[in-house]
Amino acid sequence: MTLPTRNIMLTVAYDGTNYRGWQVQPNGLTVQECVESAITRLTGESLRILCAGRTDSGVHALGQVASFKTASPITPEQFRRGLQRYLPDDITIVKSVRVADEFHATFSASRKRYRYLIWDGPVLPPSLRHYVYRTRRAIQIEPMRESLSALRGTHDFRCFETNYPNKQTSERTIMDATIQRCPALTMWSGEDFWPADAGPHEDPRRPFISFEVEADGFLYNMVRAIVGTLLRIGNGQRPAGYLGEVIESMNRGMAGTTAPAHGLYLVRVDYPPELLTVAD
């Protein structure tokens, strides 16, 4: 007897340090490859899974979403534990649920949220080197926060797009953008990482800077290019109004450099509620 297929959605978290990004590549190990291998070992099925966003090499995820259709009798909730048995420690299945047959991890997404972490303390704790970007200049948060109003809304964001054009349109809608200082972890707040000759700092108790942005979609390297531009404002090279000027210019050459991948995290992906519910 042939079992009916079901559509399974996975929420996946991973440390991207040791991977060539999400998508299967011929020149290195990827997160997709690991998850697909785990599915094959668990169910005996060989398949390609869909994903919300193809994160680049070194980028991390707290809430990547993947989906696949399976005829396996394993209950949707059991996929989480079952797959974890066959995955490395730096990839975690956070949740597994059944979703509507028409759910598509890529095309059904209504919005995504990314976070970029910056460290502007004088000395970078070694265990953080793969998870934050260390800026060599002291940063002032308020001009960066002031500039964010230019991001919100619907704009042509080709100025932040690598290899324009790589999509049919460069127009995107940003619903939310925030930036704030965060306290250092207690283990890194000691004087060893704040030497006497470090120079002035806006707030030595909060060396982490967290930028978050939520939109209906993102262009290639868009978030990292925005961060590179914000850092120019934060370190005093450009005024707060510069971000708006860059967007109006639609010129990639006016924006800042692309910030390194290892500070970037895919935080969350949202979908229409009706696609997350399966009718009885």
- What are the residue numbers of the active site? 56
How many Å apart are CA 39 and CA 33, to the nearest integer? 10
DSSP letter (8 states) at residue 65: E
Is the separation of the CB atoms in 112 and 269 below 8 Å?
yes
Handedness of CA 70, 73, 76, 82 (dihedral sign): negative
Q: What is the DSSP letter of 257?
A: P
Left if phi > 0, otherwise alpha if psi is -120 to 50, otherwise beta: which for 49?
beta
**Residue 203: strand, helix, or coil:** coil
Distance (Å) of CA 71 to CA 4, 11, 243:
6, 20, 50
Q: Rounded to whole angstroms, how far apart are CA atoms 170 and 158?
A: 5
State how far the Cα of 278 lies from the Cα of 15, in Å rounded to an integer: 31
CA–CA separation, 138 vs 147, rounded Å? 18
Tell me the residue ranges of DSSP E strands in the chain. 6-14, 50-51, 60-70, 91-99, 111-119, 133-134, 153-156, 171-182, 208-215, 264-270
**Beta-sheet pairing, 111-119 with 133-134:** parallel
Question: How far is it, in rounded angstroms, from Cα 148 to Cα 9?
Answer: 33
